[in-house]
Structure 1
Amino acid sequence: MTWRISSNGRLERLVVFLGREAVPVGELVFQGAGRKRTALFRYARSWLEDVERRRPLSLVGLPLVAKAKDGTPYEVPLPFYDAAPDGWGKSVLEAAYPMQVFGMGEFLAAAGDERIGELRFGHDPSEGPEQWEPRAPSVVLPDGSESLEDLVLAAEAVDAGQAKPRHLAMLLRDSADQGGARPKARLRHQGVDWIAKFKAWGDGFDNPRMEAVCLSLADACGIVPPEHHIQHVAGRSVLLVRRFDRTATGERVGYMSAATLVKAEPGTYSTNWTYATLASAARQSGIVPCEAELFRRMLFNCAVHNTDDHLRNHAFLRGDDGRWRLSPVFDVVPNASKTMVLRPTPDVEATADIDVAFKAWPKFLLTQEQALEIRQQVEDGMRRLPEMLDLHKVSAHDRETLAPLLPTLGTQTTPRP
C-alpha cells in the first residue's frame, strides 16, 4: 500500500501512530480540493478495543469515541497542530518542494518522524511511521553525517533567503519537523537528543547566548529549565537545548501546548487568555495544579522582559502516571516590546513590570505570604544576572544593548576577566 494521493498531488489520508512502539491508533482523512482542506479523524477499532492501552490522544479535542472528529473550522483537530511544523519548519519544506501545495496533511507527512511529542504519521497501519516525499523533490536527502557546523551554515543561508539545494537537503532531514519561528535543527549527540538553536538574520544581539542566560536564570529563580549549553561553531553561537519530550531511554512524551488546551485558533498570536485563566483552565482539565508555578513564571518573564510569552510558548507533558504537568520553561529571551502577550489577569495591565504583575497574586490560589516568598525567590535569582552573563560569555556590546530591558543588570555591562 502506498500514500493515497489525489490527482492534483494532495495527500488524502494519514495513519496516526502513537509512541515509540508506533501503535496505529487512527487516521486522518482529508476532504476538499482547496489549499486548506478539512480532515476527519477517526480512532482505529483496534485501539478502541485495546482495554490495556487505549486512551485519548489528548486532553482536548479527541475524545475516545468511535464517531469521527471533524477538524472544522480548522484543517485538523487542534492536537495535531502541536505535532506539525511551525514557521521555521514550514519555510524549509516549502523551499525544498516549491512545486508542492502544502496544507496540514502535507506538512504533517513530510516533516519527518522526530517531531515534538508522541504522535507519528504514515500511510499504512502495518508499515509504521514514514516520511512522505512529494513526487518531484528538489533536493536529495543526506546520509546523516552532516556536522553541527554544516547545520549552522545551512540555517543561516535559509534564514537569509540564500539557500542552495545542499542547505535545504540538510535542514529537510534535521529541521523540517520543528516548531517555532527561529532557525533550529535536531541533533543527536552521545545518545542524547538536542535542539540546536541558531542566530537569525536581523538579531540585535546574540540571541542564543541570551537564551542560555535566561534559562540559567530561570533555574536560579526556582523554575525548571531543560539542560542547555552554548557551543561556538563556525564563528557563531549555537544554543543546545536537551529535548524534554524524550526520556533518557528514547521514549516519546506526550506534548500539548497551552494554545491547544484553551482551544485557541491556530496561527493567532494575541489572546484574551491570561496567566490566571490559563492556570484555572489547566486545573479544570485535570492537569496537575500549576497556579504557583505560572505565577512564578509570570514574574520571571517580567523580570527578564520576555514579552513573547504567547500560548505556544507554554506547554504540558504527559507523565508516566498519565497526568499532564507543565513542561520545563523554554523560548525565554528578552524582547523589546513592553507589553506581555498574556496579561496577569483580565483586570491587571500587561506591562512587563514585576510590580504590576505581582498585584494579580490573589487570582492564583496563593496566600499573600506565599506570593511574597515566590517574588523574593525570583528577585534573589535575578541578582545572579551578571554571573550568568559571564558564564555564557555575553559581550559588552550585547550587555549595553540589553541594559534598558534588564534593570537588574545596572551598570555591570563589562564582562569580568
Structure 2
Amino acid sequence: MKVALVHDYLTQRGGAERVFELLCKYFDRADIYTSVYHASKTVDLGDRQINTTFLQQVPGTRKRFRLFAPLFYPAFRFLDLQDYDLIISSTSSFAKAVRKKPGAMHICFCHNITRFLWDTRTYLEEYGGLKKYSKALEPVLQSLRQADLIYSQEPDLYIANSSTVAKRIEKVYSRKSLVINYPIDTKKFIFSDCKEDFYLISSRMISYKRLDIAIEAFNWLGLPLVIIGDGPERKRLEAKALDNIKFLGFVNDEWRTHLMAKAKAVVITALEDYGLVPIESNASGTPVVAYGAGGVLDTQVHKETGILFKPQSPEALQTALFMAEQQQWDYHQIRAHAVNNFSEAVFFKQVRQTIEEFCGKSVIDSIELNLDLESDRALVEVN
C-alpha cells in the first residue's frame, strides 16, 4: 500500500511541524508532500525527498508564505496523489484540500481549524503588521472561508489533538473527529523531586498568552517568578514587573529542562488549543498552575498534576497559587501521569490502532511502519 504524508508548509519549526516529523519517522517509507519547503528553517527530515507544489518556485513564498494564502488551496488541489492508497494530512489550514483517487482513504491530523479565517481578529492582533489591512482583506478572507468549508469535507477521518479542537471542527466544519493527544519526547526531560523556591513561565511573549495576568498576580504576592521566552510583549511586561520577577529571555534546551525540573510549579495563563508545556512540566515531576480551559482539560488532573483556575484573572491565579503552596504533591505520580499518557510510544500505538480500526487490519498490515518507535523511553532523574 502506498502512503503519502502531506503538511501545510515546512518553513518553520512549530508544534504542528514537530507532529509531522513524528509521523514521518513512523511512516518511514511514505512519500512526503508540502506546499513550500525551507530545509534550514524547519524540522529535520533527513535525506527524504520532499515533494513541493508550484509555490516553491514563486519568489517570496518561503519567507512570506502568509501573504500568498489565496494560492495555497489551488496548489494542494494540483498535487498529483493518484498513486496513493492512504493519504495522511497534517494541517491547520490548507493540506486537507488534497485530491485522492477513488477508493483511497484520507486521514487528517487537524491541529486546529484555519485560525486566520475563523478567528481573524485574534490572528491579526498577533501579527500586528497585518492589522491595518483588515478591511481590505475581508473580501479575500470571505472567499477563503467558503473554500475552507468546501475542502473541509475532503478527509474521510479527522483526528484532533484535543477535545477543544474537536469541538471547533464539529462547529465550523460539521465533522466529527477522534481525539489523539499529541506527545512529548520524554527522554528530553529530567526529573527532580527536590524543588526550589521559584515558579516558572515558559512562553512566547504575545498578547493572547496573557502573561499580564501572571505579572499582576506575582506583583501582589511577592513570590519569585522566572520567565523564559521572548516576544513583542516583553518590554511592556518588564516595565510592569517588580523585582521578584526575573526575565531570562531565550534559554537553551538544557537550561530550560533544568528550570522546569526544579520549579515549584509551571504557570500557564493562556487559553491553549492543546499545549505541550503542561505535559513537559509533568514529565519533569512538576505540577502546573493553569487557566482551566482548552487543552489543559485533556492533560491535567486538578489537585493531582496541577491546580486549574477560573476565571482568567489575576485574582483567580492568586487563589490557585495559594492552593498550590498548600498542596502535598506526589512528584513521582505527576511524572508517571505524563509518561503513561503522553509519551511518543503511547501516541504511535494509538495512531496504529486508529488506522487499523478505520481502514482494516489488512491495510495496517500492508504498511511498513517503524515499530521501534512504540518502545517506551525512560526519563533521567536529577536531584
TM-score of the pair, normalised by structure 2:
0.30
Q: Which has the higher contact order (CA 8 A, sep 6+)?
A: 2
Larger relative helix fraction: 2
